[in-house]
Amino acid sequence: MHEHVFGLSPEILWNWPDIPEGWDLEARAREAAGKLDALKAAGIDTIVDLTVVGLGRYVPAVQRVAELTSVNIVAATGLYTYDALPPYFGNRGPGSLFGGPDRLAEFFVRDLTEGIGRTGVKAAVLKCASDHLGMTKGCERVFRAVAQAHLETGAPITTHSHSASRGGLDQQKLLASLGVDLERVVIGHAGDSTDVAYLEELIANGSYLGMDRFGIETISPFEDRVAIVAELCARGHAGKMVLSHDSYCFNDRFDADVVRQRHPHYHLLHISRDVLPALRRRGVTDDQIHQMLVVNPRRILAP
């Protein structure tokens, strides 16, 4: 429910195409398809690609990957920032230097109802973010636009949140004030937290928890990530969690060798190979795993 096919830096690629990471669409598409085929062999049929504007979304490249793999790829719309908006939006809309209408919601609705760009690929999920800076003015504009697009289309919302500051609660408060049904919201990166009281408050407010950074152990180690999922399952909350890695098939924003050294389990097969067996050892049942990997995503993505 929270993965990425490509994370790209278009202006870098346009201006310095000889960067060591390199970008050859066909080569990278085949590489990504190979990783998704391995995921398929491990029993996973579908990923939600939460790459939106601000993370280098380029849907034509993802379309090519989809042609090469049998894994279903669900696209998203929204905008990713922890603070200020990109100048195109920052210089337009309410509170900006030049004012005028806010086009964010217009663009999000178009992605959901007509398709992204000229691809014909319709997004199925809305994404917004806030982090350690809290709900900045720029973030709030994105959340308001996402809420508007959600109310117009019914599409579910998923967030990037900062668990250390209990940021999911501020996100819920704002979205609820805008008329969003919190049962249609996934609070992303909730799995970074081991604060059961915080996580149960998010659940009590109606939202799903994105336990979605398995493999990123510098934020929260493997044992803690497994333990909190197992604890919440023991408390009867399997119906309110989804599992993911937040991984990329290719991401030019990080040095791949450094990532492999520091995060050796940060890849698409970690949950299937390592996390699920560890959860079972802690008493999580196959029915609960099915709930988190199949039933909950199906419910979230249902029109």
pLDDT at 57: 97
Q: How many Cβ atoms are within 10 Å of 11's Cβ, its own excluded? A: 9
Pairing between strand 248-251 and 241-243? unpaired
132 annotated ligand binder: no
Number of alpha carbons in the 13 Å side-chain half-sphere of residue 62: 31
pLDDT at 95: 85
127 annotated ligand binder: yes
pLDDT at 96: 87
Per-residue pLDDT tens listing for the chain (303 residues): 999 999 999 999 889 988 877 889 999 999 999 999 999 999 999 999 999 999 999 999 999 999 999 999 999 999 999 999 999 999 999 888 889 989 999 999 999 999 999 999 999 999 999 999 999 999 999 999 999 999 999 999 999 999 999 999 999 999 999 999 999 999 999 999 999 999 999 999 999 999 999 999 999 999 999 999 999 999 999 999 999 999 999 999 999 899 999 999 999 999 999 999 999 999 999 999 999 999 999 999 998
Specify the long-range contacts of residues 30-34, CB closer than 8 Å, at least 24 apart. 30/68, 31/249, 31/250, 32/5, 32/6, 32/65, 32/69, 32/249, 32/250, 33/65, 33/68, 33/69
Q: Which domains does the chain have, with CATH numbers?
A: 4-301 (3.20.20.140)
4 annotated ligand binder: yes
Q: How many Cβ atoms are within 10 Å of 20's Cβ, its own excluded? A: 7
pLDDT at 22: 82
d(CA 173, CA 156): 16
